[in-house]
Every structure is written in structure tokens, then in C-alpha cells.
């Protein structure tokens, strides 16, 4: 018994199969044409994180799936599909970042945003955990000292709050300012969870104190700079302006660059 | 062919808006090629995914004129085949099962008939497909890829020549040689089964 070519060829043609249902969604997510999302817990309650092969694309207060998907599509032009959970590596990276480890790399998908917005967010990433900077400081640091209001708007549009810590940018009068991730109360909660002494910050602001100097180093800092917090009460000097510090022969801290906060319009 | 032509035009016009259509149109064939080259469904899934991701990245780097010149079917086949080859070369060498006699017998050779839809017939066909798939895996990769592209995927010889970057005459010879090897393997398996039955 032999097998003829025709039957063999038809047997081979029968070896065509359908791709697994997950293949197309995986490819589209990998190349960044569709996103996945899952819920995770944070100090301010359950949040949704969305991501694709290019990076994290959104962090939001958890809504119902339909609302989130519709909003995400409207904002990014991409469909989002639910995933059972945040992938381990991404979850660990986010946890480390929230813990204050700025070295951990988290790729972000910030397509569709302006260079100005990216500059603002990149600058916010430099602010260490447990510290805050005024909006004007960010504006001056990115070379746009007059764009304080635009900085506030850009921070409000930050699609990946917590990962890009826009909560660490506050008003120059020391009050806490707005927060996109569920409002100012959440901003307080997060900053306190990060170890910031909010009542002290607000007390200084209310009494017009903008900088803290040390009479041993003759250096002045923004109040929440880690170098300012190290100064003991005996050597601590409260300053109201840069000129105030300079008149006493103090120079600005090279880490928190307090003059940037004063430079802004 | 016509759908590929309109797809090519759409890809050249707006890659991001039309890439999903490419995925949906070609995922089954790319997965089938990978599965018949590699044998393992998970490997095949990964290779097919990887191929489509690479295709997207390549297309993103091409200008519209270059995209319009593409022959989508053979081009995608080349990408997935290269990925299969590198996966095969990374595998630890397996004991040469190639053309050995301990292969099961393909159950049914006749073209599918419509009335044969009972559970037994379906089971037989499934077993047959599995057996032919196993036989295919015994072919040396060069012949296997020629046979898979021609007879599983259904590429024409001109397309096959593009996909394998060989003259048409060479790929025809590879397909024929591959089929001959496959027939030998099949007959050996049959003989083996007969011997077992009479033993």
C-alpha cells in the first residue's frame, strides 16, 4: 500500500490551524497599539494601572471597567483590555518606586504628549521621596520660569501619577495645591505616607518662611530638602527670601537649588 | 491576493490604523507555519507573536514606497521561518528520531468527506493530523520548511522562491525531495504498524 501525492498533500493542507485567541491581543499590546490594565492597591486605595510593550501608560483611581476603557480610549486612542493582575516585574518596580527607590527603571508610554509636559514630568521625577518643590521651582528648572501655571496644568495632566511623583510639587506659598489622582486629600495622604511633616511645612509657609539655613555650613535650602532637615534647631535659621540669605552671606544648596523656587515669576 | 493588496495600501497609508488587520489576516498561517516547524504549541505561539512584532517594527521603519513593494505573504513567512530556525538551533540536539520506525501510523489519508462528522471520524482525523505533524517534524529543517510553506501554508512556487531566497527550481526540488522523504517515513511507519499487528 502506498500513498499518492494528492492524499498526502491534502493531509498536509489539513495541518493548518487557528492561532490561539491570545495571539493577536498580545502582539497589539507588545507593539503599543493596545493596552492592558489591572488593579493594584496603593496608600490611597485601589488604583488601575495600564501598560503596553512600550511602558506604563496610565495610573488612575479605580473605576468600573467600562468607564475606564471608554476614558482610556478617548484619551489615548487605544483600546484597553483587562488583565488578571499587574505583571510581577512591573508590580515590584512600582512598589520600589513608591518606596522611594528612584533608580528602579519603569518604562513609560507618553506618546501624544508635548515636549513641555515631558520636561515637567521628567523634572518631577528628580524630586526625592519625602520632599516637595514649588511649581515655580519646576518651571525655573526646565528653563521656563514664567510658565508656572502651565507647569501646574502639565502636572494635572500627568497620566502616570505616583510613578511620576507630581504629588511632590506644591504651591510656593506652602499650601498643598491640586492633585489629579482623586483630589488634594489623596495628595496629603501620599505625602504623609512618604514621611513629610505636613503641619510643620504649613506652619513655616504661613509665617512666610521660604528657606532654611544652617549657620555652620552657611548654606540655605528649601524647607523639605534632606539637608535642611538635618540641621539641628540650634544652628537652624529661618529665611524669608533668597536676598535674606545672601545678605547674611549664605549660599544656595546645590541639591535642592532653592534659588529656582525664587526665580519663577 | 486582493485583500493583501488593499492591506498593503492601508499599511503604507497608516501603519498604526491598519496593523491589526494584518495581524488578523496572517496570524493563523504564521502560527501554523511555526507549529509545523517547531512542533510545540507554546514555542509556536511565541515565534508567531515575535514575527508579527518584528514585522510591525520593520514596517515602522519603512517609507510608504518600500511598503508598497512588499510581498506580504512571503515576507511574513521569511520572518517567522527565521525565528523558527533560530529556535531550532538553540534546542539541545534530540536523539535522532528522524525516519525511525517507532512512529505511529497516520490514520486516514482520504480527503475529508462531509458525512464523516461522527465523533469517531473526528477523533481519527485528529489522530491523523497529529501523526502527519509528527512525520513532518522528522524531516531535516530545510525540507521541512519547503514542504510546510508549499503544502501547509499554500504558498505558490514564485512566493516560495521569495520566502526562501532561492531560485524557483531549487525550491521546487526541495519540496519534491521533502515529500519523498515524508512518503518514506509514512510507509516505514505503516510497515511498523503492520508488523506489530501480526506479531
List, for residues B87-137, the tens digit of each pLDDT value: 999 887 654 444 444 444 444 444 344 445 555 655 565 666 668 999 999
Predicted confidence at residue B26, as pLDDT, reads 98
Question: HEC profile for chain B?
Answer: CHHHHHHHHHHHHCHHHHHHHHHHHHHHHHHHHHHHHHCCHHHHHHHHHHHHHHHHHHHHHCCHHHHHCCCHHHHHHHHHHHHHHHHHHHCCCCCCCCCCCCCCCCCCCCCCCCCCCCHHHHHHHHHHHHHHHHHHHCCCHHHHHHHHHHHHCCCCHHHHHHHHCCCHHHHHHHHHHHHHHHHHHHHHHHHHHHHHHHC
pLDDT higher at A43 or A242: A242
Q: Specify whether the CB–CB gap between A184 and A192 falls below 8 A.
A: no
pLDDT higher at B125 or A115: A115
Question: Closest partner residue to B183 among A3, A10, A30, by Cβ?
Answer: A3
Tell which A residues from 47 to 106 touch B, by Cβ distance under 8 Å: 53
For residue B23, the chain A residue with the least C-alpha distance is A24
Q: Do A19 and B48 touch (CB under 8 A)?
A: yes
Angle, to 10 degrees, between the axis of helix A198-206 and the axis of helix A184-193?
120
Task: Return the number of other C-beta atoms located less than 10 Å from residue B98's C-beta.
Answer: 12
The mean pLDDT of A108-131, rounded to a whole number, is: 95
Contacts of A39 (CB under 8 A, 6+ apart): A46, A47, A48, A49, A62, A85
Predicted confidence at residue A205, as pLDDT, reads 87
pLDDT one-digit tens code per residue, A28-54: 999 999 999 999 888 788 899 999 999
Question: Is 50 exceeded by the pLDDT of residue B20?
Answer: yes
The mean pLDDT of B7-35, rounded to a whole number, is: 97
Q: Do A11 and B30 touch (CB under 8 A)?
A: no
Exposure string (b/e) for A58-84, b if CB count within 10 Å is 16 or more? bbbbbeeeeebbeebeeebebebeebe
Instruction: Compute the mean pLDDT over every residue in chain B, rounded to the nearest whole number.
Output: 85
Smallest CA-to-CA distance from A169 within A161, A158, A177, A159 is with A177
Contacts of B183 (CB under 8 A, 6+ apart): A2, A3, A8
Contacts of A234 (CB under 8 A, 6+ apart): none
B133 neighbourhood in chain A, CB within 8 Å: 15
Question: Is 90 exceeded by the pLDDT of residue A103?
Answer: no
Share of chain B above pLDDT 70, in %: 79
Cα dihedral B163, B73, B90, B189, rounded to 10, equals: -80
**Rounded distance between C-alpha atoms, residue B145 and residue B84, angstroms:** 10
Predicted confidence at residue A209, as pLDDT, reads 92
Helix or strand run (H / E) with residue A237? strand A236-239
**Rounded distance between C-alpha atoms, residue B146 and residue B162, angstroms:** 12
| Unique residue bearing C-alpha cell 475529508 | B112
Predicted confidence at residue B166, as pLDDT, reads 95
Q: Do B186 and A15 touch (CB under 8 A)?
A: no
How far is residue B99 from each of residues B135, B171, B182, measured CA to CA in Å?
8, 22, 9
pLDDT one-digit tens code per residue, A193-224: 899 999 998 899 889 999 999 999 999 999 99
Tell which B residues from 160 to 179 touch A, by Cβ distance under 8 Å: 179
Task: Return the number of other C-beta atoms located less than 10 Å from residue B163's C-beta.
Answer: 26
Instruction: Compute the mean pLDDT over every residue in chain A, rounded to the nearest whole number.
Output: 91
Range with the poorest average pLDDT among A103-107, B151-155, B159-163: A103-107
Question: Closest partner residue to B49 among A12, A18, A23, by Cβ?
Answer: A23
Phi, psi of A169 (to 5 degrees): -110, 125
Predicted confidence at residue A231, as pLDDT, reads 93
B105 neighbourhood in chain A, CB within 8 Å: none
Chain centroid, CA A101 distance in Å = 13
pLDDT higher at A169 or B121: A169
The mean pLDDT of A151-180, rounded to a whole number, is: 90
Asked if this assembly's ipTM is beyond 0.85, the reply is: no
How far is residue B46 from each of residues A42, A208, A252, measured CA to CA in Å?
33, 61, 55
Question: Is 70 exceeded by the pLDDT of residue A161?
Answer: yes
Radius of gyration from C-alpha coordinates of chain A: 25
Predicted confidence at residue A134, as pLDDT, reads 94
**Rounded distance between C-alpha atoms, residue B76 and residue B54, angstroms:** 10
Q: Do A19 and B27 touch (CB under 8 A)?
A: yes
Cell of B146: 519547503
Q: Do A14 and B132 touch (CB under 8 A)?
A: yes
The mean pLDDT of A134-141, rounded to a whole number, is: 95
The mean pLDDT of A77-100, rounded to a whole number, is: 89
Predicted confidence at residue B126, as pLDDT, reads 61
For residue A29, the chain B residue with the least C-alpha distance is B53
pTM (two decimals): 0.81
Predicted confidence at residue A124, as pLDDT, reads 95
Q: Specify whether the CB–CB gap between B130 and B123 falls below 8 A.
A: no
Predicted confidence at residue B4, as pLDDT, reads 87
Task: Return the number of other C-beta atoms located less than 10 Å from residue B101's C-beta.
Answer: 11
Active site residue A256: no
Predicted confidence at residue B114, as pLDDT, reads 44
Beta strands at A35-42 and A80-82: parallel, antiparallel or unpaired: parallel
**Rounded distance between C-alpha atoms, residue A256 and residue B170, angstroms:** 70
| Unique residue bearing C-alpha cell 515637567 | A120
Report chain A's terminal Cα–Cα distance, integer Å: 93
Cell of A154: 502639565
Amino acid at each position: 500500500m502506498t500513498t499518492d501525492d494528492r492524499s498526502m498533500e491534502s493531509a498536509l493542507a489539513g495541518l493548518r490551524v487557528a492561532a490561539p485567541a491570545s495571539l493577536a491581543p498580545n502582539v497589539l499590546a507588545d507593539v503599543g497599539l493596545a493596552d492592558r490594565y489591572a488593579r493594584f492597591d496603593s496608600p490611597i486605595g485601589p488604583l488601575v494601572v495600564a501598560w503596553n510593550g512600550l511602558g506604563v501608560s496610565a495610573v488612575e483611581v479605580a473605576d468600573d471597567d467600562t468607564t475606564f476603557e471608554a476614558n482610556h480610549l478617548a484619551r489615548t486612542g487605544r483600546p484597553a483590555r483587562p488583565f488578571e493582575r499587574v505583571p510581577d516585574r512591573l508590580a515590584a518596580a512600582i512598589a520600589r518606586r513608591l518606596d522611594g527607590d528612584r533608580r528602579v527603571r519603569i518604562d513609560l508610554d507618553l506618546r501624544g504628549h508635548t515636549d513641555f509636559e515631558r520636561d515637567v514630568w521628567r523634572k518631577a521625577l528628580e524630586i526625592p521621596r519625602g520632599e516637595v518643590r514649588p511649581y515655580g521651582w519646576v518651571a525655573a528648572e526646565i528653563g521656563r520660569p514664567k510658565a508656572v501655571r502651565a507647569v501646574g496644568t502639565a502636572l494635572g495632566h500627568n497620566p502616570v501619577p505616583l510613578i511620576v511623583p507630581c504629588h511632590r510639587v506644591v504651591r510656593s506659598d506652602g499650601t498643598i495645591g491640586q492633585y489629579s489622582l482623586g483630589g488634594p486629600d489623596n495628595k496629603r495622604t501620599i505625602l504623609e505616607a512618604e514621611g513629610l511633616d505636613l503641619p510643620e511645612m504649613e506652619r513655616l509657609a504661613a509665617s512666610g518662611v521660604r528657606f532654611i539655613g544652617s549657620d555652620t555650613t552657611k548654606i540655605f535650602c528649601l524647607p523639605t530638602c534632606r539637608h535642611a532637615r538635618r540641621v539641628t534647631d540650634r544652628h537652624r535659621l529661618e529665611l524669608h527670601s533668597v536676598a535674606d540669605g545672601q545678605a547674611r552671606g549664605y549660599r544656595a544648596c546645590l541639591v535642592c537649588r532653592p534659588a529656582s523656587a525664587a526665580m519663577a515669576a | 491576493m486582493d485583500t493583501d493588496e488593499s492591506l498593503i495600501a492601508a499599511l503604507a497609508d497608516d501603519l498604526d490604523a491598519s496593523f491589526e488587520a494584518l495581524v488578523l489576516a496572517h496570524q493563523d498561517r504564521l502560527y501554523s507555519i511555526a507549529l509545523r516547524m517547531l512542533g510545540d504549541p507554546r514555542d509556536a505561539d511565541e515565534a508567531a507573536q515575535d514575527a508579527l512584532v518584528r514585522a510591525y517594527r520593520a514596517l515602522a521603519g519603512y517609507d510608504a514606497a518600500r511598503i508598497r513593494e512588499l510581498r506580504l505573504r512571503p515576507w511574513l513567512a521569511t520572518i517567522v521561518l527565521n525565528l523558527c530556525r533560530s529556535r531550532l538551533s538553540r534546542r539541545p540536539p534530540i536523539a535522532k528520531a528522524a525516519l525511525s520506525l517507532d512512529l505511529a501510523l497516520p490514520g486516514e489519508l482520504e480527503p475529508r468527506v462531509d458525512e464523516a462528522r461522527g465523533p469517531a471520524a473526528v477523533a481519527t482525523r485528529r489522530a491523523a493530523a497529529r501523526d502527519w505533524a509528527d512525520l513532518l517534524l522528522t524531516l531535516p529543517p530545510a525540507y521541512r520548511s519547503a514542504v510546510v510553506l508549499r503544502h501547509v501554508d499554500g504558498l505558490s512556487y514564485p512566493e516560495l522562491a521569495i520566502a526562501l531566497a532561492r531560485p524557483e527550481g531549487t525550491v521546487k526540488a526541495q519540496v519534491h525531495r521533502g515529500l519523498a522523504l515524508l512518503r518514506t517515513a509514512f510507509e516505514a511507519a505503516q510497515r511498523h504498524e503492520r508488523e506489530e499487528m501480526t506479531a
